[in-house]
Amino acid sequence: MVAVLASVLVLVAAAAGLAVVRPGPVAGWLGGADGRTPTADPPDPMPSPVLDGVTANAPMPTRAGVQAAVDPLVDPQRLGGRVNISVLDIATGEVLYERGPDALTVPASTTKLVTGLTVLAARGPGYRIPTRAVAGAQPGEVVLIGGGDPTLAMNAAGSYPGAARLDQLAEQVKAALGGAVPTRVTVDSSLYSGPIYEPGWDSDIPTGGCGGPVMALMTDAARANPKNATGCTRRLNNPDIAAGQAFAKALGMPAAAVQGVARGTAPTGPGTPSADASGGSVVSTAPTATAAGPGPEGAMIAPGTELGQVQSPPMYRLVEFMLSDSENLIAEALARQVALARQQPASFAGGAAAVDAVLVELGLPEAESGLADGSGLSRTNRLTPSLLTDLIMLAAGGTRPELVGIFGGLPVAGWSGTLSHRFRSPAAGSAAGAGVVRAKTGTLSGVNAISGVVTTAEGRLLAFAILADQVPTDSSVAQPALDRIAGALASCGCR
C-alpha cells in the first residue's frame, strides 16, 4: 500500500507544508503487468515532480484577495447565469471563495471525481477485476465470464498498458484442457443488469464514440480499434460477443465456431466464486453431476470448473485511466464495482445508489449529491461545488490514505490528458496555471466544469470547483473562461 500510494502522489500536510508530485508521461509510467495473475507486483517507477512543490509555511490567501481575483472573471456572456464555485485552502479547510457552493448543478465529467473516490474507498487501491473462463454445461464448451474489467485486451496491442489479456487466458485454458481445442465458446456478461445506456444520456452518445454499451465483458473500453486509445472513437455495439470471438480465435477454434460465439450463463460448480456480504468472494463447493468434457489425460471436467483467470491492473490505475482522458465506459464500470462492493445491482441505478451511499459513509453530505451514472454523461446528475472541494480535501487530508489515488490520474494543465492543450496561450490569460493546475474537466453542450487543485504563486495549495450549467456559448469560448479563473488562482498570492 505504501509503495502504491507513494508512486501515485505524495501529499504531506504538516507544518512544513504540502508537496504534490506527479508521475512522468502517462503512457510510460502506466506500463507494467502483462495481464497474468501476479505473485508479486514489480515496484512502480518513482514519480517525478510536475506540480510545483508547495512552499513551507506559504501564506494563505484571504477571502477578500480571492474574491478580488475571481469575481471579475465570472463572465455571464461566456459562462451563463449559473456559475457555481467553491475554493478551499487544503491545509486548513478554510473556505476562501463561495458562489452558489451548495447549489445542485449538472457536473458533466467532474462526476468522475466522485466515482474515483468512492471506488477507491469501496474496493481499495489494490483491488483487481477478474475475467474468468470455466467449463460449460455442454461437452467441449468454454464459458468466458465478464467480471466488469473495461480495460481487458485481446492481446498485447490493447489500449491500456498492463491490461489483462484474452490471449493469455486462452493459454491457461489450453493447458487446463491438456491441449484439447474447445468446440464452443459462450460469453456470460450477466454480472450487469438494467439498460446498457442511461436514459439521461443525449441521443447521440451511443453512436458518437464518447460512450457506448455498458456491459460486463468488453475489450479496450469497447473500442473498435484499440489503437485509438483516447478520445471519442467508434465503439462496438456488441463488445461481449467481440471479446468472445477474439477468445475463441486465440483458442485455435475454426472460423465457423468463432462466428458462432453466443451469449449464455455459466454453470456453477466447484471453485465458482460468488459474492459475500462484504463484496468479496467465497468459493462454492457444491457437487456437480455432469461432465463437460475431457481434460488432461482423459479426465472429465465438471461444468463450472475454472479453467483460467486473468486480472485487471490494480484499481488505482483504473481510476487513473478514467480520469486522465475522461473515459466514460471505465467510469461506468467503476461505478458498478462500487455497487458490487455494497451488494447493490450492477446497474446504472445500483451504481448511483451505491456511490451516494459511500459518500455518506465518508462523511460527505448526502443532500449535495444526486447521481444517475458514474461518468457524468447523464444530464440528470447533480453535484454541488462544495461537495467536490470537500472530497478533494478528504483525499488530501491523510486520514484515508486509500483515497490518495484520486490525484494520480488528474490531468495537469498544459501537459497531460484532457488539459494537455489548455492553459498554454499567454494571450488567453490562463498560462499561469500551466503545470500548477491539476484538475478534472467536464463538458456537455451547455455545461462546462473544472475541479481539482492549484498551487498559488506563493506556494499554497487550494482545492477548487467551478460548475456552469447554463452556458450560452460553445466550449471553445466557455473553456478558456473557466481556465482564466483557475489561472488567476495560480498567479496571485490573493492577499
pLDDT band (50, 70, 90) for residue 47 = very low
Gap between the Cα atoms of 339 and 370, Å rounded: 15
Residue listed under C-alpha cell 487466458: 169
Cβ atoms of 105 and 82 within 8 Å: the answer is yes
To which residue does cell 483458442 refer?
Answer: 251
Which pLDDT tens digit goes with each residue over 49-60?
Answer: 444 556 668 899
Closest CA to 451 of 107, 17, 52: 107
Q: How much of the chain exceeds pLDDT 90, in percent? A: 76
**Residue 56 pLDDT:** 60
pLDDT at residue 58, as a whole number: 87
* pLDDT at position 299 over 70: no
Residues 6 or more apart whose CB falls under 8 angstroms from that of 302 comprise 135, 269, 270, 288, 290, 291, 292
Grid cell locating 144: 468466458
Q: What is the pLDDT at residue 475?
A: 92
Q: Among all residues, which ones are annotated catalytic? A: 109, 112, 326
Q: At what angle do helices 63-70 and 475-491 cross, to 10 degrees?
A: 150
* β 437-444/447-455 pair status: antiparallel
Average pLDDT over residues 204-228: 93
Q: What is the mean pLDDT of residues 228-246?
A: 94
Nearest of 321, 329, 327, 315 to residue 279 by alpha carbon: 315
Residue 291 reports pLDDT greater than 80: no
The pLDDT of residue 268: 87
Q: Which range is most confident: 183-187, 204-208, 228-232, 420-424?
A: 183-187
Is 12 a residue whose pLDDT tops 90?
no
Cα 238 to Cα 241: distance, rounded to the nearest angstrom: 6
Encode pLDDT of 160-171 as tens digits: 999 999 999 999
pTM confidence score: 0.86
Half-sphere exposure of 443 (CA within 13 A, CB side): 18
Chain CA centroid to CA 331, Å = 4
pLDDT at 127: 98
Spacing of C-alpha 420 from chain mean position? 19
Between the CA of residue 19 and those of 303, 400, 464, what are the distances in Å?
Answer: 54, 17, 17
Half-sphere exposure of 198 (CA within 13 A, CB side): 27
What average pLDDT does the segment 332-358 reach? 97
Phi, psi of 318 (to 5 degrees): -60, -40
Cα gap 166→182, rounded to integer Å: 15
Stretch 123-137: mean pLDDT: 97
Whether the pLDDT of residue 89 is over 50: the answer is yes
Which of 104-108, 130-134, 301-305 shows the lowest per-residue confidence on average (mean pLDDT)? 301-305
* pLDDT at residue 29, as a whole number: 24
Q: Could you write out the DSSP letters of every residue in 119-154?
A: HHHHH-TT---EEEEEE-SSTTEEEEE--S-TT-BS
The confidence score (pLDDT) of residue 9 equals 41
Confidence of residue 214 (pLDDT cuts 50, 70, 90): very high
* 366 φψ region: left (φ > 0), alpha (ψ -120 to 50), beta (else): alpha
pLDDT at 200 over 70: yes
Q: What is the pLDDT of residue 275?
A: 44
The mean predicted confidence, pLDDT, of the chain is 86
The pLDDT tens digits for 453-464 are 999 999 999 999
Grid coordinates of 22: 506527479
pLDDT at 428 (0 to 100): 83
Say which residue, 345 or 276, is predicted with more confidence.
345
Structure confidence at residue 40 (pLDDT): 46
